[in-house]
């Protein structure tokens, strides 16, 4: 299922949930719920693949050593393998979450107000300086993404120096 979700554009996932969930549930869902579900589903597929790659990059001896120490398979995963794998995939996860931040701009297709939609509404209301409005909107996205990246970079650097 994750391969299917990752293989199609997010905009289709949003549309499918927007039109199919009301048919399946028998009632209308708010656009914000639909977008939240679509973003969560889409992001979960990417995070799953990233964590899986992190787990597969670990030496098989880690798993075997934990089992010989008396850990159950679930404990081995939770206490030995996942902490190492998550440390290895943190930069990838930051990239995924930066992409998620930018993907929120697709919420407009189901009438959920978000930053780009609000910029368009401001532009329609004042009908002056559209370039400035959308450059400002782009700058806000840029600052949010760079801020998240910088925050993660500092955290990784701090953790690397304490080890």
| Residues in the chain, total | 163
Confidence (pLDDT) at 6: 84
The residue ranking higher by pLDDT, 158 or 144, is: 144
pLDDT tier for residue 3 given thresholds of 50, 70 and 90:
confident
R_g (Cα) of the chain, nearest Å: 21
pLDDT surpassing 90 at residue 159: no
82: pLDDT strictly greater than 90: yes
d(CA 143, CA 151): 12
Q: Could you tell me the pLDDT band of residue 162, with boundaries at 50, 70 and 90?
A: low
Mean pLDDT of 77-85: 94
Measure the CA–CA gap between 47 and 135, rounded to whole angstroms: 31
Give residue 158's pLDDT band: very low, low, confident or very high (50, 70, 90).
low
pLDDT of residue 48: 95
Helix residue spans in the chain (DSSP H): 2-7, 10-25, 31-56, 60-68, 73-75, 82-103, 115-126, 130-162
pLDDT digits 0-9 by tens, 89-118: 999 999 999 999 999 999 988 888 898 889
Instruction: Indicate the pTM of the whole model.
Output: 0.79
Residue 5, pLDDT > 90, answer no
Question: Quick one: pLDDT band at residue 47, thresholds 50, 70, 90?
Answer: very high
The yes-or-no verdict on residue 163 having pLDDT over 60 is: no
């Amino acid at each position: 299922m994750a391969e299917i979700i990752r293989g199609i554009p997010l905009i289709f996932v949003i549309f499918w949930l927007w039109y199919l969930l009301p048919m399946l549930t028998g009632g209308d869902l708010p656009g914000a719920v639909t977008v939240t579900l679509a973003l969560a589903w889409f992001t979960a597929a990417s995070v799953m693949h990233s964590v899986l790659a992190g787990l597969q990059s670990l030496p098989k001896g880690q798993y075997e050593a934990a089992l010989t120490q008396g850990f159950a398979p679930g404990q081995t995963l939770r206490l030995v393998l996942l902490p190492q794998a998550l440390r290895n995939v943190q930069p990838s996860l930051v990239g995924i979450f930066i992409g998620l931040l930018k993907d929120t701009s697709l919420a407009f297709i189901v009438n959920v107000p978000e930053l780009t939609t609000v910029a368009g509404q401001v532009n329609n209301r004042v009908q002056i300086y559209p370039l400035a409005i959308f450059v400002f909107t782009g700058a806000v996205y840029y600052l949010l993404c760079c801020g998240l990246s910088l925050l993660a970079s500092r955290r990784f650097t701090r953790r690397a120096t304490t080890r």
